[in-house]
């Protein structure tokens, strides 16, 4: 994804947001979101990621297609995939709701919510509070905020609306050192390091390995993109990552439930002390 491509997505997203705001029902979204969140369990994704369970924490993603890979699967429903992910041991499910470039919808999120009890992340290019209210009404537990898509003011405002006003969680996604420090300044609690270079669209796990060294110890760090094998997960886990967002690897699997279960099992077969990062090498934990 190049910067120009990101700009194109954001331009289309602004048009999509304008269409949402033009609906007669849009004025009621904020009120409805606040009502729903009054009785909802707060910060479910954060709780799941902070759990002391020794099992590797995977946020398994449902996405129909991507700009780089094209169509991933067109023979499975969001509900089917969500059930497979939950049975396979996912700690949460990410649902890509962008329609123009990823073929998703808020309807996919509702379908996943209707069939699973694990926390759900709305993954989209969120640029306006109304998208967070829409996510809350659809019973999402968390939203993605991409630092590269937002200025500092809007990043802080959206994080505040999601976490402080609605009790959702914000997975704040970064790609560079500068973006990481912007996320920290905005008060991010859960930070996702995307291994996909926005300039070249190439994936390198070195991005996660490099940036986690600059993170604060009390932040929940998530590695995203390019995660395909247990050895990579094991290595990143020992560096201090508390979770991993995996999409294309699982979407392409013939049996997503088995693929996820096998990946978690293989990556979790390590010494308990190493899993928590308590080693004599001073690894982050």
255 is catalytic: no
Say which of 163, 224, 248, 257 is annotated catalytic.
224
Say which of 13, 123, 189, 219 is annotated catalytic.
123
Cβ neighbours of residue 20 under 8 Å, at least 6 residues apart?
A: 26, 130, 131, 134
63 is catalytic: yes
61's enclosing H/E stretch is strand 58-62
Angle among Cα 269, 141, 203 to the nearest 5 degrees reads 55
Say which of 13, 63, 189, 219 is annotated catalytic.
63
8 is catalytic: no
Angle among Cα 238, 241, 242 to the nearest 5 degrees reads 115
Cβ neighbours of residue 71 under 8 Å, at least 6 residues apart?
A: 64, 65, 103
20 with 134: CB under 8 angstroms? yes
173 is catalytic: yes
Which stretches does DSSP call E strand in 81-225? 92-96, 120-123, 142-146, 169-174, 190-194, 220-224
Task: Give the integer Cα–Cα distance in Å for 224 and 244.
Answer: 6
Say which of 189, 225, 248, 257 is annotated catalytic.
225
Say which of 66, 84, 194, 195 is annotated catalytic.
194
225 is catalytic: yes
Angstrom distances, CA of residue 244 to CA of 90, 137, 161, 240: 10, 26, 25, 11
Say which of 13, 61, 86, 248 is annotated catalytic.
61
Say which of 86, 163, 173, 179 is annotated catalytic.
173
Could you list the active site residues? 61, 63, 123, 173, 194, 224-225
């Amino acid at each position: 994804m190049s910067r120009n491509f990101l700009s194109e997505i954001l331009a289309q997203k602004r048009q999509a947001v304008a269409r949402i705001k033009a609906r007669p029902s849009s004025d009621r979204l904020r009120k409805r979101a606040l009502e729903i969140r009054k009785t909802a369990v707060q910060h479910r994704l954060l709780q799941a990621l902070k759990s002391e369970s020794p099992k590797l924490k995977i946020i398994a993603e449902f996405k129909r297609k991507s700009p780089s890979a094209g169509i991933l699967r067109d023979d499975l429903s969001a509900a089917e995939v969500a059930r497979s992910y939950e049975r396979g041991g996912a700690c949460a499910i990410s649902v890509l709701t962008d329609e123009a470039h990823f073929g998703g919808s808020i309807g996919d999120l509702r379908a996943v919510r209707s069939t699973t009890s694990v926390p759900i992340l709305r993954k989209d290019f969120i640029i306006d509070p109304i998208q967070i209210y829409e996510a809350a009404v659809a019973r999402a537990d968390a939203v993605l905020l991409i630092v590269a898509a937002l200025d500092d003011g809007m990043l802080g405002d959206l994080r505040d609306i999601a976490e402080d006003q609605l009790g959702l969680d914000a997975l704040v996604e970064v790609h560079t050192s500068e973006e990481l420090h912007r996320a920290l300044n905005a008060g991010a609690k859960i930070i996702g390091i995307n291994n996909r270079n926005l300039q070249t669209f190439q994936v390198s796990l070195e991005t996660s390995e490099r940036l986690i060294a600059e993170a604060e110890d009390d932040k929940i760090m998530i590695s995203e993109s390019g995660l395909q094998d247990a050895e990579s997960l094991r290595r990143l886990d020992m560096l201090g990552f508390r979770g991993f967002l995996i999409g294309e690897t699982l979407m392409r699997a013939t049996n997503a439930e088995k693929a996820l279960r096998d990946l978690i099992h293989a990556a979790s077969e390590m010494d308990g002390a190493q899993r928590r990062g308590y080693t004599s090498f001073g690894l982050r934990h």
